[in-house]
């Protein structure tokens, strides 16, 4: 069920009405748990058992870790959790990738190897709920949270449908306390939650799917046919598409959770207004970047141990972050580019300490950061290295854009201007000054836009594949 589908609208309406009719907190939680499993079953019913088994295993192992006093035994149970979760993720997500690379390596050595046909469907959202679940066992091992959570509460934390298939990656320490205490959303919470859903759907259906995605798809299908400004339009269109697609999903997830009284953390803070790449990763997919920081970068050593080790840790973290997005060397290249950007920025910061706080340099830094991020999006979107080369060749030619490409460029210029203006603000800050009439007009305009853009190809959210 896509958030921008009629099926989901009916599903949400039924669940929300039942939630309001039930006044006791425990039955409310069970309603949300059953609804979340039904939501996941709509994608592929058999994979519900994987979600259920993973949930039970981590809940049980966390309790063993919590009760155990011996360090060696606690470490053993943590390793079991890590191996079980990551092995499951590796099997479904990277099985075909490993077999394909093994075949290529054998061919390079002169041997013939025909791997078995890999036609296993990737369980939707497995990367997201695996990382959410791992945060629980790791935090219990670190003695940062207690593992005294009832199974039903923990199962709801993992499977809660707003964040189940594409995040945000909500930490156990943030969501479990909210699940434990009775929650009754106020009229203001519900109203703002539905407003966020409307804005998120507008970002997804109108900006990402209708205005930007067609331009990006045509360009990456045949880069040589769209030279000059058409190539820039295609590159920028995908940069906007992935932001409005995933940012729109995150707004929907946050808004839906708010309708049931839960607070999710922000996942985007106007990332294309970033001044530097460390600033970009404080604004883009925040739940993933902070997860990688806390559970990978810092355990690797973080910025301790000298400059070389810090740069190594940055590069390893971004390489693995790239591989998390998909089983392809193109995603690894995307991660390598961002790792390289972060390393270069660290060197520049050491040579010019005041550069990134200089307000006079802010416009130049923002533009350079945005252009470099768009450059990195090329291997993220392109199917292979040859397409990347073709994209760059087209970008350095002289040609005018088509009408659709010109519209995509205008949309991106407007988006960048908006992000620059909102860089140090939040959507809540702006909306707090809106009257109820103005908020109603904004919601109505978003819904009209969604309705006008409906009827074409139904596109899943991009991050569903990760």
Instruction: Kindly state whether residues 314 and 451 are assigned to the same domain.
Output: yes
242 and 377 Cβ atoms separated by less than 8 Å: yes
Q: Does residue 139 sit within a domain?
A: yes
Q: How far is residue 12's CA from residue 256's CA, in Å, rounded to a whole number? A: 9
Instruction: Kindly state whether residues 159 and 282 are assigned to the same domain.
Output: no
More confident residue, 160 or 426: 160
Instruction: Give the model's pLDDT for residue 355.
Output: 84
Could you tell me the pTM of the whole model? 0.94
Answer yes or no: is pLDDT of 266 > 80: yes
Answer yes or no: is pLDDT of 452 > 90: no
CA pseudo-torsion sign 43, 49, 54, 55: positive
The residue range of the domain holding 39 is 6-184
Least confident of 44-58, 119-133, 164-178, 452-466: 452-466
Say how many domains are in the chain. 2
Answer yes or no: is pLDDT of 293 > 90: yes
Instruction: Cis check for the bond before 454: say yes or no (omega within 30 of 0).
Output: no
Instruction: Tell me the CA end-to-end span of the chain in Å, nearest whole number.
Output: 16
Instruction: Give the model's pLDDT for residue 216.
Output: 96
Instruction: Kindly state whether residues 255 and 303 are assigned to the same domain.
Output: yes
Q: Does residue 419 sit within a domain?
A: yes
Given 163, 226, 325, 338, the catalytic residue: 325
Instruction: Give the model's pLDDT for residue 14.
Output: 97
Average pLDDT, integer, range 361-384: 95
Average pLDDT, integer, range 129-140: 94
Answer yes or no: is pLDDT of 455 > 70: no
434 and 442 Cβ atoms separated by less than 8 Å: yes
Instruction: Kindly state whether residues 180 and 194 are assigned to the same domain.
Output: no
Domain boundary among 133, 153, 184: 184
Average pLDDT, integer, range 20-36: 96
Domain boundary among 128, 159, 184: 184
User: Known catalytic residue: 226?
Assistant: no
Per-residue pLDDT band at 151 (split at 50, 70, 90): very high
Instruction: Kindly state whether residues 143 and 213 are assigned to the same domain.
Output: no
Q: Does residue 100 sit within a domain?
A: yes
Angle (CA) 156 285 355, round 5°: 150
Domain boundary among 145, 164, 184: 184
DSSP 333-379: HHHHHHHHHHHHHHHHHHHSTTGGG-GGGHHHHHHHHHHHHHHHHHH
Count of C-beta atoms within a 10 Å radius of residue 47: 18
Summarize pLDDT for 310-367 with one digit per residue, the tens: 999 999 999 999 999 988 999 999 999 999 999 999 999 988 888 888 888 899 999 9
Q: Does residue 446 sit within a domain?
A: yes
Q: Does residue 1 sit within a domain?
A: no
Answer yes or no: is pLDDT of 198 > 70: yes
Instruction: Kindly state whether residues 177 and 218 are assigned to the same domain.
Output: no
For residue 251, the 8-state DSSP code is H
SS3 content of the chain, % helix, strand, coil (to 5): 75, 0, 25
């Amino acid at each position: 069920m896509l958030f921008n589908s009629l099926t989901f609208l009916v599903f949400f309406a039924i669940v929300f009405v039942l939630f309001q009719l039930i006044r006791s907190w425990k039955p409310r939680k069970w309603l949300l748990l059953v609804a979340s499993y039904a939501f996941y079953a709509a994608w592929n019913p058999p994979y519900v058992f994987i979600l259920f088994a993973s949930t039970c295993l981590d809940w049980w192992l966390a309790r063993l870790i919590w009760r155990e006093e011996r360090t060696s035994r606690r470490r053993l149970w943590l390793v079991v959790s890590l191996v079980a979760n990551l092995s499951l993720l590796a099997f479904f997500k990277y099985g075909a990738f490993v077999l394909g690379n093994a075949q290529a390596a054998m061919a390079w050595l002169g041997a013939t190897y025909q791997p078995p046909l890999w036609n296993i469907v990737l369980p939707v959202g497995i990367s997201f709920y695996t990382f959410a679940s791992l945060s629980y066992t790791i935090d219990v091992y670190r003695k940062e949270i207690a593992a005294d959570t009832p199974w039903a509460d923990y199962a709801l934390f993992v499977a809660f449908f707003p964040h189940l298939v594409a995040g945000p990656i909500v930490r156990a320490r943030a969501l479990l306390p909210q699940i434990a205490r009775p929650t009754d959303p106020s009229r203001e919470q519900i109203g703002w939650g539905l407003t966020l859903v409307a804005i998120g759907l507008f970002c997804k259906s109108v900006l990402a799917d209708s205005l930007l995605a067609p331009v990006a798809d045509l360009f990456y299908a045949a880069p040589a046919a769209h030279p000059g400004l058409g190539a820039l339009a295609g590159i920028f269109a995908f940069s906007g598409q992935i932001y409005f697609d995933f940012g729109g999903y995150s707004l929907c997830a946050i808004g839906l959770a708010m309708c049931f009284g839960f607070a999710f953390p922000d996942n985007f803070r106007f990332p294309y207004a970033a001044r530097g790449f460390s600033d970009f990763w404080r604004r883009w997919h925040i739940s993933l970047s902070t997860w990688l920081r806390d559970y990978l970068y810092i355990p690797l050593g973080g910025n301790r141990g000298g400059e070389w080790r810090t740069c190594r840790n940055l590069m390893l973290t971004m390489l693995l972050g790239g591989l998390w997005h998909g089983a392809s060397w193109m995603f690894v290249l995307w991660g390598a580019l961002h790792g390289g950007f972060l390393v270069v920025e660290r060197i520049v910061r050491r040579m010019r300490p005041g550069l990134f706080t200089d307000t006079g340099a802010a416009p130049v830094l923002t533009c350079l950061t945005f252009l470099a991020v768009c450059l990195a999006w090329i291997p993220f979107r392109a199917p292979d290295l040859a397409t990347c080369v073709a994209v760059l060749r087209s970008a350095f030619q002289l040609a005018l854009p088509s009408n659709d490409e010109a519209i995509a460029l205008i949309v991106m210029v407007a988006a960048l201007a908006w992000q620059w203006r909102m860089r140090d603000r939040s959507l809540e800050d702006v909306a707090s000054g809106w009257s109820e009439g103005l908020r109603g007009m904004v919601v109505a305009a978003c819904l009209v836009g969604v309705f006008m853009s409906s009827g074409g190809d139904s596109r899943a959210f991009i991050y569903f594949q990760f």
